[in-house]
Chain A
Amino acid sequence: MRNIWIIARRDLRAQFNSPVAYVVIGGTMFLVGVLFFLIPHVGNAFMGSFWELDRASMDQLFLYLPPLMCLFVVPAVTMRTIAAERGSGTLELLITMPVRDSDVILGKFIASLSVVLILLAATLLYPIAMFFWPWNLGPLDWPTLWAGYLGCLLFSSAAVAVGMMLSSLTESDVIAFFMTSATLSVLYAIGWMAALIPGVLGDAVEFLSFQTRYQSFARGLVDTRAVLYFLSVATVCILVSFRALESRKWS
């Protein structure tokens, strides 16, 4: 247990010692800002940008944040976790300390998730600035907001676990980045296509998609099936990473 924190702390510090964490958090905040205030809703012609919507709602934030996380944030944060250590050989020195393989995996998972959580916390600036202080544009439905953030948290856990798993399967952080970006984007985007696919296949796609699962949270609904889904994805991916790390012993 203690070792998990030591490894997580070191990894987190490493993220903030390199420019990656700053660029990712700063860049995402900027993009979210642009999308949030200036660009009309892409998927739905009836929705405009935040101002045109004319409602005290943070829907827009929850609409744009997850795709950005899939495309850039999570891949950039998780790409180095195991791939880079394997590539540079530092993994050997880390693992030959008296630590369990599971300590290493969980420590790294916690560190990556923390970076994403710091980003999520930073996006809280939007609702706070507009609906609490210094401006108060109207009565915001705070419980809906918290449900949305809970959804983001669960969604990020699953996404970070997927990223870490893919990072544990390669030695190159570039490959890990693109694999993660592609996998997460597909998992997210198939939700939009689910409606077009008829029958059982459509249901299956809807079942698998991060987007459809996440949707209910954004509307303020905490769906236990979705909670379980995200937690299961995270657990399975963490287990696969653990096995991938362990497989070095036998290959």
Chain B
Amino acid sequence: MSGAVKILSGNTFVVSDDSGDIEASLTDPTGLFSFDTRFLSKWVLTIDGQRLNPLSVDDLQYFETRFFLVPGTGTVYIDAKLSVIRQRAVGDGFHEDLTILNHDDKPVDLEVRLEAACDFADLFEVKDDLKKKGEYYTSIDDGRLVLGYRRETYVRETWVSATEACAVDEGGLTFAVHVEPHEQWATELSVAIGRDVRGTAAERPEHERRGHKAGSDMALSLEKWLDEAPSLDCDWDPLKRTYRRSLVDLAALRFSPVMLPGHHLPAAGLPWFMTMFGRDSIFTSLQALPFASDLARTTLAALGLWQGARHDDFRDEDPGRILHEMRFGEMTAFEERPHSPYYGSVDATPLYVVLLDEYERWTGDAKLVRALERQARAALAWIDDYANLQGNGYIAYQRRNEKTGLENQCWKDSWDSISYRDGRLPGFPRATCELQGYAYDAKVRGARLARLVWKDPAYADRLDKEAADLKRRFNRDFWVEDGEYFAIALEPDGSQVDALASNNGHLLWSGIIDESKAKAVAGHLMSPAMYSGWGVRTLAEGQGRYNPIGYHVGAIWPFDNSFIAWGLRRYGFKEEAARIAAGILDAAELFEGRLPEAFGGYERALTKYPVQYPTSCSPQAWSTGAPLLFLRTMLGLEPIGEHLVVDPALPQGIGRLELLDIPGRWGRRDAFGRSRVAVGSPPRRDAQLGVIEPGATKA
């Protein structure tokens, strides 16, 4: 997708080439997508039969782009006397202002043509290269081109129209254009989601059919979003850029579920994952809590609404389980895929309780905690009643949907992510270590809420007791004596799956690790086998399956690192946490403020530049949230009672860091950080943070 231009609004997005054209093949994620369905797969502009050549692309906003074009392709401009501007904004479909300028002294007559077609592919089909089962139709209705697809009662349509007079045929629109010397001609093109699950566009209320008003409404909404977030000042400029990029991308990834119009939660990532994911929405909401707690509120409400209540093998659903993924495309509609929603995630359920508690600690919103008491109790009950698949009291996973369900139901969900030191793969059910940490944290936090908000001290005592018992057993059963770290998982027979992986950092975050073992764990995370200089690798160098560009077996995930840094701070390893923040923030600068999902685990000294993982999503919500969580850990922000405690520990290259108007139960508060490390010379502006200065000691 190099050269691809992406704009989006909610879960509607357009991916085109840099002249604004779309020519999608079935396996190619270009086109107009809405609710996981492609609504336009061909959109090609020609003038007198010629394609146009891009001069420049202006990304005006995440939902709006302007393309400057001239006729003719190739290296020599055939006619530079004309220029063409396409300005496109995404709303319910997209809207395009097409302007042709005649720079000549003579008038011109042109045939302007827009070819349009649609394959109505489900995103799953695009990913997996599958064939359609229904029938296509096209018609010309009231001057607009209708592209349609029908399979039984499933009907989807795209409506293409223009404000200027044109000839409409089944393949597109043709304009006979006359432009006087030094004059211009313009038309407004509309590509509307003509018919979807909400019915036809004509039946939809005006505000949903935003059309050309989308741009200004969304600009206002983005401005408000940025205004409400804390403001940041810092003597290391790249952080300011990364912070702003993160806020804007997070705004772009806000998504309104079809059944909860008007409410926003973070979708997982563009282009494959513009939908609700339990795990991703929860992690991103946690990262963003000090900046935009609304995301957490909506995530908790929406995930609570869809909480599992039944036994359903196809969807891997149990009572109390929090969903993994929701999809809206054709394959979900015909139950060929289980995503309506699919529940095959084992961490989202304990993390739901973790988020609820963390949300209350920041916001003081006890009302929501009361409203979601039943859901939180059901989630806590699920841990013991349905996830104890090994029968030993540990939370574990094994899919019941063998055909289309997920094999690995933890965040490291690729087939080879959980392994032994020597590379062997364990059996099922699998109890990965970080899950035990989440379960422990959920019980401790559930106990706090039970005592404080639900006024059920007996329940609180029980949860505390279970948590303490879990912690005791965990530190005995998962601890790899000869390596001094925690095994990545337990086999069904209770034996250790002994690979050294970044999951250890999540264990620090959850608080399940005995104080006496924390130093060894932190030492591993910062060792050359795990810390590359950019960040902590998902799997340590030297393990059997280690591969620096292996998705979960060596690549570095910014999101993972943000939680590892939080964990290090929790156990008092302030400088180690700052070093992790420094490496990832340096990488962010090199990615122009937008961290990818993952990048290569190569040694920093070797590559000088973080190598992006080949097929990763960008922007991706929990990567976007990572710099926000690093700000929290660098400043040491912690809500204690009604107060916000600030305890900064900054990387060496940042002399001053200010985060102003941090919202929370205290109203608004400012946090200031100054470099605690005495340095001989003032820090160089824009120097990289994580480079070890000559003579500096390496931890």
A and B, one complex?
Answer: no
**Which residues of A are interface residues toward B (Cβ below 8 A)?**
none
